[in-house]
Amino acid sequence: MTAAHGSQPPHDGDHEQDRHQFETSIQVSPPGTNDRPLRASASGEDRVLDEIAQRVLWLATSIIDRANRGRENPDGVKVGGHQSSSASMAGIMTALWFARLRSIDRVSVKPHASPVLHAINYLLGDLAEHHLDTLRSRGGLQPYPSRTKDPDTVDFSTGSVGIGATAPIWAALSHRYVSDRFPDTPRAGRFYSLLGDAEMDEGAVWEAIIDPEVRTLGEIVWIVDLNRQSLDRVIPDVQIKRLQGMFAAAGWQVLTCPWGRRLEAVFAAPGGQALKDRLVSMPNPEYQRLLRAHPTEVHDRLLAGLDESAATALRAVIDPFSPDEIASLIRDLGGHDLGQLVEAFEAIDDDRPTVVFAYTIKGKGLATEGHPGNHAAQLTEAQMRDLAAASGVDLDDPWVRFDPDTPAGRLCAQTAERLRREGHETHTVAEVPAELGFSPRPTISTQATLGRFLSDLKHVAPEVARRVVTVSPDVATSTNLGGWINKTGIWSPAGREDWFSDDRERVLKWQEGSRGQHIEMGIAEVNLVSLAGELGTTGSRWGQPLLPIATIYDPFINRALEPWTFSLYAGGRSIMVGTPSGVTLAPEGGAGRTSRSTRPRLLWRSRA
Ligand SMILES: Cc1ncc(C[n+]2csc(CCOP(=O)(O)OP(=O)(O)O)c2C)c(N)n1
């Protein structure tokens, strides 16, 4: 097999300059290797896992390389892909898949690590070889993990930053709901999110974390790929303390893997604290600069700016190491030490959600490692050949699996067997009647119509109504779900005492328990549509379809429209009712009602 390298049209000097100037989203000439070891993992103690991680790094990088330089591209238009973002996650995903994951667990993978997921699925026999050449081509592997379009096992679609990361929370809640309602629903395990650290800038993330039910979901695990780089830049401040505090305050278990075991051992040795203090107090950009420095410069850069006594203490720790050793030591981060990660995974509680902060280097093991402009950088052919040599494979024959008679081959086979998913029975929804026999008054508000519709549905089509679940962001009563709630009750995972059950003046019965068919959210429209979308996947995930209806004040649909359309792309089917729409309830004024049509925005367009 030969890669069609160099198939793009030749550029003369001027054109090349234009490309640099106008396509800053691709780094055309990536930085040099600078004598760094091209290793996916840091410590190299867990031989089989490390070997698999290296192959995963190789395959993921090659999938992108082939998309950009291995296919005919007559017009030379950018194809793209994110080798450095993928490299950052190769160790984390290898440790999770090959040492921890169970067949009942589900995982959301950060958008730019989709090649890592495909590489793992390929090693596990879940993806045929011919797909590996198709990333970002029509009908091929999707740019970002796609539950509906990719040919291999992808549990959650991601791509809209923050939305894919939070989807497992809503899937977990949906699974709890559907299991309460239909006890023969198949069991579920943990719901993992593997997210980028800059993803935590998204409001959707914090909107989800603050939801009061979320702190009770022990099946939620987030693993943050803390490479401290985003798309444009190195994250300027050290944020870890603030992030740890925010998760802890929300009731999460917080685990952190900052360093690998080799570096921990140096810290623990007499005087080693001096090196730890230096690394901990270093701003992110200074650390990144250290990663880009030639090994012979690292020693002096570590000492730069220290007063005499601090420099003396640090010298005592670092002087015994050669330049290569010290350069390798400062890269020994927890997110690349696979044994360390496996230990962290074993410490995860099941009675509250968990976040694991895994320190990583963006581009780990690639020539682009730690470079501030590496987000979309593509390795050159020469750099790919170096990586191939470091990975024990051949660039011209890139898609090698492990020999089944080797320890790595056996671990792949055992993992594939462990992750094999059981089939399940698929239930269907009874036929939805086209008419309910209800004639509305000539003039009636949309809110009154909705209330009447739900009430009639329960009488006319009880089997359909059994699968209806309503969701509302603190507007259940004003969107007129009161009658429905009185008949069906509120669902909450743990149930709650109804202190007003003996109050005769009460019109709305607010009884929370495991049998309810309404889920009440806070004023959180993104949470609302994300949950509605996941409630709409229970049929395809566990064979128990639901008919989710989200009610919302209609002007606020706009706020939630993008996450809602993303949930459609991800395979979620839900109905959103915006009231009071049109001209009814005009007394609500411009802030409380709208007559704008949102329909044109609901067309999902995708090139691939
Ligand atoms: C809602 C949304 N905004 C912006 C983007 C564009 N985008 C894709 S990845 C990315 C940076 C992600 O950084 P991080 O999560 O830290 O991942 P990594 O650095 O590991 O690639 C941005 C801004 C997007 N996909 N979705």
pLDDT given at position 243: 96
- Cα separation, 244 vs 236, whole angstroms: 17
Average pLDDT on 217-240 reads 92
Burial of 305 (0-12, 13-18, 19+ CB in 10 A): exposed
Total residue count of the chain as it appears in this document: 608
Query: Would you say 482 and 455 are in contact if contact means Cβ atoms under 8 Å apart?
Result: no
Q: Residue holding tokens 């009563």? A: 477
The residue ranking higher by pLDDT, 412 or 445, is 412
pLDDT given at position 494: 83
pLDDT given at position 28: 53
pLDDT given at position 17: 54
Torsion angle, CA of 183/185/189/192, rounded to 10 degrees? -120
What value, to the nearest 5°, has the Cα angle with vertex 155 and ends 151 and 157?
80
Q: How many of the other CB atoms lie within 10 Å of CB of 493?
A: 15
The residue ranking higher by pLDDT, 23 or 58, is 58
Nearest CA-CA partner of 331 in 300, 364, 306, 305: 364
Distance 85 CA to ligand 1 centre (A): 10
pLDDT given at position 238: 74
Burial of 232 (0-12, 13-18, 19+ CB in 10 A): exposed
Give the β-pairing of 490-491 and 547-553.
Answer: unpaired
Query: Would you say 87 and 60 are in contact if contact means Cβ atoms under 8 Å apart?
Result: yes
Distance 199 CA to ligand 1 centre (A): 6
Sign of CA dihedral 590, 592, 593, 598: positive
**For 137, left (φ over 0), alpha (ψ -120 to 50), or beta?**
beta
Output the six-digit token pair for 556. 């606020």
230 lines ligand 1 (CB under 6 A): yes
Give the β-pairing of 191-196 and 106-109.
Answer: parallel
Distance 565 CA to ligand 1 centre (A): 18
Residue 317 reports pLDDT greater than 90? yes
- Ligand 1 atom with minimal separation from the 195 CA: 15
Share the mean pLDDT of the chain.
Answer: 90
Distance 197 CA to ligand 1 centre (A): 9
Query: Would you say 330 and 262 are in contact if contact means Cβ atoms under 8 Å apart?
Result: no
Using omega within 30 degrees of 0 as the cis cutoff, is the peptide bond preceding 580 cis?
yes
360 lines ligand 1 (CB under 6 A): no
pLDDT given at position 441: 78
Q: How many of the other CB atoms lie within 10 Å of CB of 44?
A: 18
pLDDT given at position 6: 39
538 lines ligand 1 (CB under 6 A): no
Query: Would you say 470 and 552 are in contact if contact means Cβ atoms under 8 Å apart?
Result: no
Residue 239 reports pLDDT greater than 50? yes
Of the chain, the percentage scoring pLDDT greater than 70 comes to: 90
The residue ranking higher by pLDDT, 269 or 599, is 269
Query: Would you say 598 and 559 are in contact if contact means Cβ atoms under 8 Å apart?
Result: no
Distance 161 CA to ligand 1 centre (A): 6
Q: What is each CA distance from 5 to 56, 295, 446, in whole angstroms? A: 22, 31, 61
- Condensed to tens digits (0 to 9), the pLDDT of residues 131-160 reads 999 999 999 999 999 999 999 999 999 999
- Ligand 1 atom with minimal separation from the 375 CA: 21
Output the six-digit token pair for 254. 């917080």
207 lines ligand 1 (CB under 6 A): no
Q: What is each CA distance from 361 to 232, 235, 292, 385, in whole angstroms? A: 15, 13, 11, 21
- Ligand 1 atom with minimal separation from the 231 CA: 11
142 lines ligand 1 (CB under 6 A): no
- The 3-state secondary structure of 245-263, one letter per residue: HHHHHCCCEEEEECECHHH
pLDDT given at position 584: 62
Domains and CATH numbers, the chain: 24-260+334-415 (3.40.50.970), 269-329 (no CATH), 446-602 (3.40.50.970)
SS3 category, 519:
strand
Distance 123 CA to ligand 1 centre (A): 27
Helix (H) or strand (E) holding 193: strand 191-196
The residue ranking higher by pLDDT, 360 or 1, is 360
pLDDT given at position 5: 41
- Cα separation, 53 vs 522, whole angstroms: 42
What is the phi/psi pair of residue 576, to 5°?
Answer: -110, 125
Query: Would you say 367 and 32 are in contact if contact means Cβ atoms under 8 Å apart?
Result: yes
Average pLDDT on 250-265 reads 97
Query: Would you say 584 and 445 are in contact if contact means Cβ atoms under 8 Å apart?
Result: yes
Identify the band that residue 44 occupies on the pLDDT scale cut at 50, 70 and 90. low
Q: Take atom 9 of ligand 1 and give the residue whose Cα is closest.
A: 231
Residue 27 reports pLDDT greater than 80? no
- Cα separation, 257 vs 240, whole angstroms: 11
102-111, 290-299, 471-480 — most confident range? 102-111
Q: Where would I find the beta strands (DSSP E) of 448-587?
A: 468-473, 490-491, 512-513, 518-521, 547-553, 575-579
Average pLDDT on 109-126 reads 98
pLDDT given at position 495: 83
Average pLDDT on 157-176 reads 97
Residues with Cβ < 8 Å from 257, sequence gap 6 or more?
333, 334, 335, 337, 340, 341, 344, 356, 357, 358, 359
Identify the band that residue 553 occupies on the pLDDT scale cut at 50, 70 and 90. confident
Identify the band that residue 200 occupies on the pLDDT scale cut at 50, 70 and 90. very high
**Ranges 96-110, 375-389, 583-597: which has the least confidence:** 583-597
Residue 314 reports pLDDT greater than 90? yes
pLDDT given at position 600: 38
DSSP string, 106-142: EEEE-GGGHHHHHHHHHHTTSS-GGGGG-TTSTTSS-
- Condensed to tens digits (0 to 9), the pLDDT of residues 75-89 reads 888 899 999 999 999
The residue ranking higher by pLDDT, 605 or 194, is 194
Query: Would you say 416 and 122 are in contact if contact means Cβ atoms under 8 Å apart?
Result: no
Q: Take atom 6 of ligand 1 and give the residue whose Cα is closest.
A: 161
Residues with Cβ < 8 Å from 268, sequence gap 6 or more?
none
Residues with Cβ < 8 Å from 136, sequence gap 6 or more?
67, 79, 80, 81, 142, 143, 608
If one residue of 114, 205, 231 were mutated to test the ligand 1 pocket, choosing by the most ligand atoms within 8 A of its CB, it would be 231
Residue 557 reports pLDDT greater than 60? yes
- Cα separation, 397 vs 420, whole angstroms: 28
Q: What is the DSSP code (8-state) at residue 430?
A: P
Distance from the Cα of residue 460 to its chain's centroid: 42
199 lines ligand 1 (CB under 6 A): yes
Q: Take atom 10 of ligand 1 and give the residue whose Cα is closest.
A: 231
**Ranges 210-219, 339-348, 584-593: which has the least confidence:** 584-593
Distance 162 CA to ligand 1 centre (A): 9
225 lines ligand 1 (CB under 6 A): yes
Output the six-digit token pair for 68. 């950009």
88 lines ligand 1 (CB under 6 A): yes
pLDDT given at position 580: 74
Query: What ipTM did this prediction achieve?
Result: 0.98
Q: Take atom 21 of ligand 1 and give the residue whose Cα is closest.
A: 85
160 lines ligand 1 (CB under 6 A): yes
At what angle are helices 273-280 and 261-268 packed, to 10 degrees? 120
112 lines ligand 1 (CB under 6 A): yes
- Condensed to tens digits (0 to 9), the pLDDT of residues 470-520 reads 999 999 998 899 999 999 999 998 888 899 989 988 888 999 999 999 999
